[in-house]
Structure 1
Amino acid sequence: MTVKSFEVSDPVLSSLKGFALANPSITLVPEEKVLFRETSDDKIAIISGGGTGHEPSHAGFIGKGMLSGAVCGDIFASPSTKQILNAIRLVNAKSSGVLLLVKNYTGDVLHFGLSAERARALGINCHVVVIGDDVAVGRAKGGMVGRRALAGTVLVHKITGAFAEAHSTKYGLEGTAKAAQIIIDSLVTIGSSLNHCKVPGRKFETTLQGNQMEVGMGIHNEPGVQTLEPIPPTEELISKYMLPKLLDSTDKDRAFVDFNKDDEVVLLVNNLGGVSNFIISAIAEKTTGFLKEQYNITPKKIMTGTLMTAFNGNGFSITLLNATKASKELNTSFPEIKSVFELLEAYTDAPGWSPGFFEASSAPSVDASVLHTDVKVTEVGNYDHSSFSKWMKAGAENIIKAEPHITELDTLVGDGDCGYTLVSGVNGITKNLDTISKTSLSEAMAQLSDIIEGSMGGTSGGLYSILISGLSHGIIQTCKNKDESVTKDSLAKSFEIALETLYKYTRARVGSSTLIDALEPFVVEFSNSKDFKKAVTAAEVGAKSTATFEAQFGRASYVSDSSSVEDPGAVGFVEFLKGVESVL
């Protein structure tokens, strides 16, 4: 399987140099691959690090209130003892001691541990805390190694960094290390991924087939603990395969942290690098719902972001922090700290900390009285709702049948969504036919305009909504009262007014290769002949003509050559008209 990716020479050092260029308050020592910031003589400095490939971890979390420095190894490889020791020396020159926060991977633990021993031999006050939050590898298989470090690592960075900033002057290195351990002991994480990641400079390799995914995926392309085939819906993945591994108290192999229904909990949904922000937010919402439904847990704080990655890993992880447990233990040892949220929400200027700093405040309530919830216009133009409904359903059915062709056209000259957008629009119409006015066509059109805008979205939704709103205004102008039936003459005039209304908001005209190339001929022919079939034929001729000239509007205008492809919007309009014509 070939996976395309951007490649650069010397990627690790180039990446570190680019990061330093973008963050001038952080200094890079290129020969050691060490980054550090200004520190204070009276406070504990915190260093983390490991192999590169997890960005923004760890360099991105250097900042006031988080890390003091980071040591970077090669891709997925621990930095050397020499690198780490030099980092300790650098930050120790202006601090009261150095805490090393180390992810629980063999190479990292060995090299950071040896560096700490050598630092202490040099008279440097140095201590190591090993982070482990993974639950995928249980006690039996993990044995003496313990839990791997996943995205929970960044919460340890944030909370321990805030503690060091505010309290290490009083409690020193031992106190800061203890605070870190309290957080680690309150954390659980599980990850999952659709595939392995592409490592720069290496051939893409995977053991997974197209219909497989893994649960328990690590952050170094390690296999997961469970392969799922076929790939389940995301909701099922979360509720059936991930949350039980975090929260099933009967699973003694993985029940590392107890969670009770009254506990305050922090939820972190972390992007492994290749998932869109759109989906990560949706996963957070689904996870929150399942926590409430299945475990009676309502997270007090929900965090999402790309924080601990595996390059372009097409997966995510779920981390839970038992804030009640952590807060009680912190308060017992450090009475000034009433809640772990004080530290989690404390200020930091670390460039990679996407959750940001904020002062907790209540969100505003919704004043429903000011919301646009109903459409009211002058009610005129009596019409046959039953026949109208039949026409709309027939038009909708034809759009749905034509969707693959419309989508294919839009893939060539647009962004490929025109067919889906039109289907959403006609589905919105047919689902709401019973809710629109059954006696007044002006009101029915106004309501339909609102429905289309809500169901279609995008440019097409806006255009059709304006057009149909204009049709409503046209009916109001051409029909005297509610009892007067809509005629072909009044409908033709109303179509003219609708087109004029649309022209106020778009400069597209016939010859622009847009919906207008089919719409205007339809309106003109119907206005002249009052013959719907002739008007549909005129619209079809207009739509076909769009394959003879370049598009001037929309995404099709960016395509190098769109002159041989019919405009998908015009084609969609004609297909709807043909559907209506078939039942007239």
Structure 2
Amino acid sequence: MAVKSFEVSDPVISSLKGFALANPSITLVEGEKVLFRETSSDKVAIISGGGTGHEPSHAGFIGEGMLSGAVCGDIFASPSTKQILNAIRLIDAKSNGVLLLVKNYTGDVLHFGLSAERARALGIDCHVVVIGDDVAVGRAKGGMVGRRALAGTVLVHKITGAFAEHYSVKYGLKGTAKAAQIVIDNLVTIGSSLDHCKVPGRKFESSLTAEQMEVGMGIHNEPGVNVLEPIPTTEELISKHMLPKLLDPNDKDRAFVDFDKEDEVVLLVNNLGGVSNFIISAIAEKTTTFLNEEYGIKPKKVMTGTLMTAFNGNGFSITLLNATKASKELSANFPEIKSVFELLNAYTDAPGWSAGFFEAKKAPAIDHSILHTEVKVTEVGNYDFENFSRWMKAGAEQVIKAEPHITQLDTQVGDGDCGYTLVAGVNGIIGGLDQLSKTSLSEAMAQVSDIIEDSMGGTSGGLYSILISGFSHGLIKTCTEKNEPVTADVIAKAFSFALETLYKYTKARVGSSTMIDALEPFVQEFSKSNDFKKAVAAAEAGAKSTATFEAKFGRASYVGDSSSVEDPGAAGLVEFLKGVESAL
């Protein structure tokens, strides 16, 4: 199957121009693919760069307290020596020395290194620090090459940039380079990906099957060190395949940094480009839990984001910085610095640096006494709880049985989740039966309304919660005495009140192809005849009628032709009612 992607002409230049347009304090030298900001003549400047395709790295980290400039090569290709040297000359004109932070890839190291040599020959004070944080390619396989640079690079940018901003006047280029090396020596990263990325302008290629993924994935589509088949759960991937490579002291090939239980640690979960923010946040929670449970490590700072990417790479990396050891080394060399967190939390206006990464204000405490913990309404409506439970269970069983059909309908006219949402709702009711009031139907229905809202979510959850809450209120309006028994007439009046309540919050009516097409006929027939079986038949006829006209509400109203498909919400309501009918 072909991989679809947006393509543009001259993607590298277009991307750089677009970045400069969005960040007017940064200047683009188009002919050299160099981006830079205003610098100070008394401070060390920091330049990084490399092949494009890792956005927001590196241009996104140009800013006060971070990078001074970035040199951009073509896609996944090192910039030329000419480009880099011109960047050095341009930025050095208003700086006190230039530090090159270089990712440990052969082309980058060679070109940045040669540029530094030429810069020094021109009388420019220039130094190179090579960044390597990957543990996947261990000592044996890495040989003389050393560790690759992954997402830990961004932490080096931030901490070194803050050092240059606040301390380079005193400690100069040599001190700034030393600070960078201290951070690198205390960093470890491991990546993993479900597949390779799609490179603009190139055909998508991958040797991985649908049942395989890689651990140790780099940021240039290079293969990982392990192929996993079948694909493990995300939890197993983190706990069994990633964290041990970062933290196992017995793995001498990869134990680059020692971590003790009392050490303060920074955790960075980086999105390689193609994973949702939702899942990245979940991965951060799972990783934090495993670190604590399996290694006794409780990260002092957790960072998540899309920082060092491989285009749309469907993967993520985990980076750990031993902040305790880094802080001790920084303090030993620079007495003013008590903790690496001072530098990590220092201000920067770099556009790629999230505001959430700065030192957090103290979070407020929870006053549990004011939280909504219990549903309390006027207690009326003496009812048979055992029969009620039996009816609810029968209705739930029917919805669960019909879920595939409901879901199939919703895949044609919605987003395919209606069946799952209804099942979540009925499971919530069944799971909460024991907590319901056993003597008051009004209170029990108010509690069911609360359960529905919590368990279903979305529009359906809100509508059903309002309906059932209205039913509870209808009972309170109808019953004149606390212990008045619940009769068919009382139920009918409460249903009518519930429908009126629902109509306050939705404009859907019969003919809109929604659950209303089944609900209103049910309520009207039951109010007229007090016959549940006839009311269910009226609801079913109303639901089937929705397959004869276009939807006017919900996703079905704009996903295409829905005139020949029964509304899944109406069908789901009918299935529940039919289940209840079977138990009467």
TM range (shorter): over 0.9
Which residue in the other structure is 1:99 paired with? 99
* CA–CA distance in structure 1, aligned partners of residues 581 and 560 of structure 2: 36
Which residue in the other structure is 2:269 paired with? 269
Secondary structure of residue in 2 paired with 1:74 = strand
The answer to which of 110-119 and 387-396 deviates more is: 387-396
Which residue in the other structure is 1:413 paired with? 413
Residue 445 of structure 1: how far off its partner (Å): 0.1
**In the alignment, is residue 443 of structure 1 matched against residue 443 of structure 2?**
yes
Task: Report the number of matched residues.
Answer: 584
Residue type at the aligned position of 1:40: S
* CA–CA distance in structure 2, aligned partners of residues 346 and 544 of structure 1: 63
The CA deviation string for residues 435-457 of structure 1, in whole angstroms up to 9 with x for no partner, is 11111111100000000000011
Residue 359 of structure 1: how far off its partner (Å): 4.2
Residue type at the aligned position of 1:248: D
Taking a change above 3 Å as real, the CA distance of residues 447 and 356 of structure 1, as seen in their structure-2 partners, is closer
Residue type at the aligned position of 1:309: T
Kept after mapping to 1: 8 A contact 2:214/2:224: yes
Which residue in the other structure is 1:215 paired with? 215
Which residue in the other structure is 2:299 paired with? 299
Which residue in the other structure is 2:387 paired with? 387
Gaps of 5+ in 1: none
* CA–CA distance in structure 1, aligned partners of residues 297 and 480 of structure 2: 60
Taking a change above 3 Å as real, the CA distance of residues 40 and 84 of structure 1, as seen in their structure-2 partners, is same
Kept after mapping to 1: 8 A contact 2:269/2:304: yes
**In the alignment, is residue 352 of structure 1 matched against residue 352 of structure 2?**
yes
Which residue in the other structure is 2:28 paired with? 28
Q: What does residue range 447-466 of structure 1 map to in structure 2 within 5 Å?
A: 447-466=447-466
Which residue in the other structure is 2:480 paired with? 480
Give the TM-score of the pair, scaled to structure 1: 0.99
* CA–CA distance in structure 1, aligned partners of residues 319 and 268 of structure 2: 5
Q: What does residue range 65-464 of structure 1 map to in structure 2 within 5 Å?
A: 65-356=65-356, 358-464=358-464
Kept after mapping to 1: 8 A contact 2:303/2:357: no
Secondary structure of residue in 2 paired with 1:309 = coil
Kept after mapping to 2: 8 A contact 1:65/1:346: yes
Secondary structure of residue in 2 paired with 1:582 = helix
Kept after mapping to 2: 8 A contact 1:13/1:33: yes
The CA deviation string for residues 390-443 of structure 1, in whole angstroms up to 9 with x for no partner, is 111111122122222222222222222211111111111111111111111111
Which residue in the other structure is 2:574 paired with? 574
Kept after mapping to 1: 8 A contact 2:271/2:309: yes
Which residue in the other structure is 1:51 paired with? 51
**In the alignment, is residue 60 of structure 1 matched against residue 60 of structure 2?**
yes
Which residue in the other structure is 1:501 paired with? 501
Residue type at the aligned position of 1:559: V
The CA deviation string for residues 528-575 of structure 1, in whole angstroms up to 9 with x for no partner, is 111111111111111111122222212222223222222111111111
Kept after mapping to 1: 8 A contact 2:413/2:560: no
Q: What does residue range 556-571 of structure 1 map to in structure 2 within 5 Å?
A: 556-571=556-571
* CA–CA distance in structure 2, aligned partners of residues 579 and 255 of structure 1: 60
The CA deviation string for residues 221-275 of structure 1, in whole angstroms up to 9 with x for no partner, is 1111111111111111111111010000111110000000110000000000000
Residue type at the aligned position of 1:227: V
Residue 356 of structure 1: how far off its partner (Å): 4.2
The CA deviation string for residues 126-166 of structure 1, in whole angstroms up to 9 with x for no partner, is 00000000000111111100000000000000000011011
* CA–CA distance in structure 2, aligned partners of residues 350 and 360 of structure 1: 18
Which residue in the other structure is 1:516 paired with? 516
**In the alignment, is residue 4 of structure 1 matched against residue 26 of structure 2?**
no
**In the alignment, is residue 543 of structure 1 matched against residue 543 of structure 2?**
yes
* CA–CA distance in structure 1, aligned partners of residues 239 and 100 of structure 2: 36
Kept after mapping to 2: 8 A contact 1:347/1:357: no
Secondary structure of residue in 2 paired with 1:71 = strand
* CA–CA distance in structure 2, aligned partners of residues 541 and 280 of structure 1: 46
The CA deviation string for residues 178-213 of structure 1, in whole angstroms up to 9 with x for no partner, is 000000000000001111111111111111111111
Give the TM-score of the pair, scaled to structure 2: 0.99
CA RMSD of aligned residues (A): 1.0
Residue 355 of structure 1: how far off its partner (Å): 4.8
Kept after mapping to 2: 8 A contact 1:305/1:355: no
* CA–CA distance in structure 2, aligned partners of residues 574 and 556 of structure 1: 19
* CA–CA distance in structure 1, aligned partners of residues 360 and 223 of structure 2: 39
The answer to which of 315-324 and 483-492 deviates more is: 483-492
Residue 320 of structure 1: how far off its partner (Å): 0.3
* CA–CA distance in structure 2, aligned partners of residues 560 and 234 of structure 1: 35
Residue type at the aligned position of 2:550: E
Residue type at the aligned position of 1:503: Y
Residue type at the aligned position of 1:319: T
Kept after mapping to 2: 8 A contact 1:425/1:455: yes
* CA–CA distance in structure 2, aligned partners of residues 490 and 220 of structure 1: 69
Which residue in the other structure is 2:528 paired with? 528
Residue type at the aligned position of 1:476: I
Residue type at the aligned position of 1:440: S
Residue type at the aligned position of 1:315: G
Kept after mapping to 2: 8 A contact 1:43/1:172: yes
Q: Percent identity?
A: 85
Gaps of 5+ in 2: none
* CA–CA distance in structure 2, aligned partners of residues 387 and 59 of structure 1: 67
Residue 354 of structure 1: how far off its partner (Å): 2.2
Residue type at the aligned position of 2:411: T
* CA–CA distance in structure 2, aligned partners of residues 7 and 397 of structure 1: 49
Residue type at the aligned position of 1:284: A
Residue 2 of structure 1: how far off its partner (Å): 1.4
Runs of 4+ that moved beyond 6 A? none
Secondary structure of residue in 2 paired with 1:330 = helix
Secondary structure of residue in 2 paired with 1:48 = strand
Kept after mapping to 2: 8 A contact 1:546/1:567: yes
Residue 479 of structure 1: how far off its partner (Å): 2.0
* CA–CA distance in structure 1, aligned partners of residues 11 and 90 of structure 2: 25
Secondary structure of residue in 1 paired with 2:519 = helix
Taking a change above 3 Å as real, the CA distance of residues 355 and 154 of structure 1, as seen in their structure-2 partners, is farther
Residue type at the aligned position of 2:289: G
* CA–CA distance in structure 2, aligned partners of residues 359 and 291 of structure 1: 22
Secondary structure of residue in 1 paired with 2:214 = strand
